Amino acid sequence: MNRIIKLLIPCLFIYLSASAQKDKWIVLFNGKDLQGWDTYMGPQLGLNNDPQHVFSVVKDGNENVIRVTGEGWGGLSTKNEFENYHAQLQFKWGTLTWGNKKGKKMDSGFLYHAVGEHGMDAKAWMRSQEFQIEQGNTGDYWGVAGGIQDIPVTKQGENYVYDANGTLNAFSATSATGRHGTKGADAEKPTGEWNTLDLYCFGDTSIHVVNGKVVMVLFHSRQVDNGVESPLKKGKIQLQSEGAEVFYKGIKLQQISAIPAEIKKQAGLK
């Protein structure tokens, strides 16, 4: 019996170590301040110059959260780049809208694989892939400042809607389908409630998950410069200010060695 126990102990240690590594989250928002992040509110203000406090940490009930007023277009970006990860955050809408977004759908965005100079898109955002955050459209895709991904879709009216069994199309600023792909299902909670977004990025594949539901799978992440395409598989994470008040919390990330089996199954991947 003792011999069997001795043989099992190393196996148990390996299992526990693997489990601990799997659940090792990197906390991106420390719950106190914006340490580890950069702000950018256009070329006139530049980096980390936010006199209107578009990005700040405020109290919501008994916890601190990030508030984005939405007054002006800009981004809050991590200082570090990431590759092959599962990222998670929570968001909820505020009440304010500004400028040309006044009275319209509230809008923000969860940009990933953000690279290059700040302000490459609309003088506000880096080149990236966008996990859209917008009332009624959370989970959509936009290619930002040269970002490209392939998405299986079916055309419904004027929209190209994610369909796991659809035709694979390239989405970019210069493609026939454009740079906007529509999510396959609406899983957003009513305005004012917290939503949980999960993003899985492994290799050149990414998966958008809204409140536990896979709403889009994207392939062959890449970028284009002067007509030449190259892979885009890592970069910073950037949260948008885009004319609407929004709150964020629980922003964290963990490295992965593969897309989890349960997510692949829900997404219909082999």
pLDDT digits (tens, 9 = 90+) for 49-93: 999 999 999 999 999 999 999 999 999 999 999 999 999 999 999
Q: Does position 132 have pLDDT exceeding 80, yes or no? A: yes
| Section 26-32 average pLDDT | 97
Q: Does position 207 have pLDDT exceeding 70, yes or no? A: yes
Q: Is the dihedral of CA 93, 95, 96, 101 positive or negative?
A: positive
Task: For the chain, give the percent of residues with pLDDT over 90.
Answer: 91
Name the β-bridge partners of 155: 160
What pLDDT score was predicted for residue 19? 43
More reliable by pLDDT, 240 or 23: 240
| Section 88-108 average pLDDT | 96
Name the β-bridge partners of 254: 86
| Section 214-225 average pLDDT | 98
Long-range contacts (CB closer than 8 Å, 24 or more residues apart) made by 256-262: 256/84, 256/85, 256/86, 256/200, 256/202, 257/84, 258/202, 259/200, 259/202, 259/205, 259/207, 260/86, 260/200
pLDDT for 118-131, tens place per residue? 999 999 999 999 99
Residues 6+ away with beta carbon under 8 Å from 226: none
What pLDDT score was predicted for residue 267? 93
What pLDDT score was predicted for residue 13? 41
Q: 4-18, 51-65, 173-187, 199-213: which range is least confident on average?
A: 4-18
Per the CB < 8 A criterion, the answer to whether 243 and 101 are in contact is yes
What pLDDT score was predicted for residue 203? 98
Q: Does position 27 have pLDDT exceeding 60, yes or no? A: yes
Q: Does position 251 have pLDDT exceeding 90, yes or no? A: yes
Per the CB < 8 A criterion, the answer to whether 240 and 121 are in contact is no
26-267: CATH number:
2.60.120.560
What pLDDT score was predicted for residue 2? 55
Sequence spans of domains, the chain: 26-267
- Mean pLDDT estimate for the chain: 93
- 152 CB neighbour count, 10 Å cutoff: 21
What pLDDT score was predicted for residue 121? 96
